[in-house]
Amino acid sequence: MTLDQSSWRDDAENLLPDLVELRRAIHAEPELGLLNPKTLVKIKAALAGLPLEFREGPSTTGLIATLKGPSNGRTVLLRGDMDALPLNEDTGLDYQSQTAGAMHACGHDTHVAMLVGAAKMLCAKRESLTGTVQFMFQPGEEGHHGARFMLDDGLIDPMPDAAFALHVMPNAPRGVFSGRAGPLLASSDVLSIKIKGAGGHASMPHDTIDPIPVACEIVSAIQAMVTRKISVFNPAVVTIAKISAGTTNNIIPETAEMLGTIRTLSAQQRARVAEELHRLAPGIAAAHGCTAEVHIEPGFPVTVCDDRAVGFGQKVVEDMFGQASWITLDTPIMGAEDFAYVLEKVPGAMFFLGASHEGDDWRSCCGLHSNRMVLDDSVMARGAALHAAMAERFLAEGFDA
Does residue 365 have a pLDDT over 90?
no
Q: What is the pLDDT of residue 42?
A: 98
Q: Is the pLDDT of residue 258 over 90?
A: yes
**Listed residue (159, 143, 117, 122) closest to 12, CA to CA:** 117
Alpha-helical regions (H) of 230-349? 267-287, 307-321, 340-343
More confident residue, 345 or 365: 345
Residue 182 backbone zone (phi > 0: left; psi -120 to 50: alpha; other: beta): left
CA distance 388 to 391: 5
What is the pLDDT, as a whole number, of residue 118? 98
Question: Does 7-185+302-400 match 187-297 in CATH topology?
Answer: no
Is a pLDDT exceeding 70 seen at residue 2? no
CA 339 to chain CA mean position, Å: 7
Domain 187-297 listed as CATH 3.30.70.360: yes
Q: How confident is the model over 25-29, as a mean pLDDT? A: 98
Query: In a 3-state reduction of DSSP, which class is residue 349?
Result: strand
Mean pLDDT of 151-162: 96
Q: Is the pLDDT of residue 271 over 90?
A: yes
Contact 356, 147 (CB under 8 A): no
Q: What angle, 0 to 180 degrees and rounded to 10, lies between the N-to-C axes of helices 380-397 and 108-124? A: 50
Per-residue confidence band for 6, with pLDDT thresholds at 50, 70 and 90: confident
CA distances from 110 to 80, 191, 306 (A): 9, 31, 25
Is residue 313 classed as helix, strand or coil in its secondary structure?
helix
Per the DSSP assignment, residues forming a β-bridge with 198 are 209
Task: Report the alpha-carbon distance of residue 47 to residue 41 in Å, rounded.
Answer: 10
Strand order from edge to edge, sheet including 63-68: 53-56, 63-68, 132-138, 75-81, 162-169, 348-354, 177-179, 326-328
Is the pLDDT reported for residue 47 higher than 80? yes
Q: What stretches of 228-280 adopt beta strand conformation (E)?
A: 236-245, 251-252, 255-264
Please tell me the predicted confidence (pLDDT) of residue 361: 80
- Domain boundaries in the chain? 7-185+302-400, 187-297
Is the CB of residue 269 less than 8 Å from the CB of residue 334? no
Q: What confidence tier does 4 reach under pLDDT thresholds 50, 70, 90?
A: low
Find the mean pLDDT for residues 191-210. Answer: 98
Per residue in 238-253, pLDDT (tens digit) is 999 999 999 999 999 9
% of residues, the chain, pLDDT over 90: 94
C-alpha neighbours within 13 Å on the C-beta side of residue 197: 27
Q: Cα–Cα distances in Å, from 95 out to 23, 74, 103, 222, 335? A: 10, 40, 11, 44, 27
Strands 303-305 and 162-169, bridge-based pairing: unpaired
Region 123-150: mean pLDDT is 97
Q: Per-residue pLDDT tens for 301-325?
A: 999 999 999 999 999 999 999 999 9
What is the CATH code for 7-185+302-400? 3.40.630.10
Are 135 and 78 spatial neighbours (Cβ–Cβ below 8 Å)? yes
The residues near 54 (Cβ < 8 Å, ≥ 6 apart) are 44, 63, 64, 65, 66
Q: How far apart, in whole angstroms, are the C-alpha atoms of residue 344 and residue 57?
A: 21
Contact 341, 30 (CB under 8 A): no
Helix (H, G, I), strand (E, B) or coil at 256: strand
pLDDT at residue 400, rounded to an integer: 84
| pLDDT band, very low/low/confident/very high, at 69 (cuts 50, 70, 90) | very high
Mean per-residue pLDDT over the chain, rounded: 96
Which residues of 21-158 form beta strands (DSSP E)? 53-56, 63-68, 75-81, 132-138
What is the predicted pLDDT for the residue at 401? 66
DSSP 3-state assignment of 103? strand
Residue 1 has pLDDT above 60, yes or no: no
Three-class secondary structure of residue 115 per DSSP: helix
CA distance 206 to 200: 9
Closest by Cα among 314, 303, 374 to 337: 303
Q: Are 355 and 110 in contact (CB under 8 A)?
A: yes
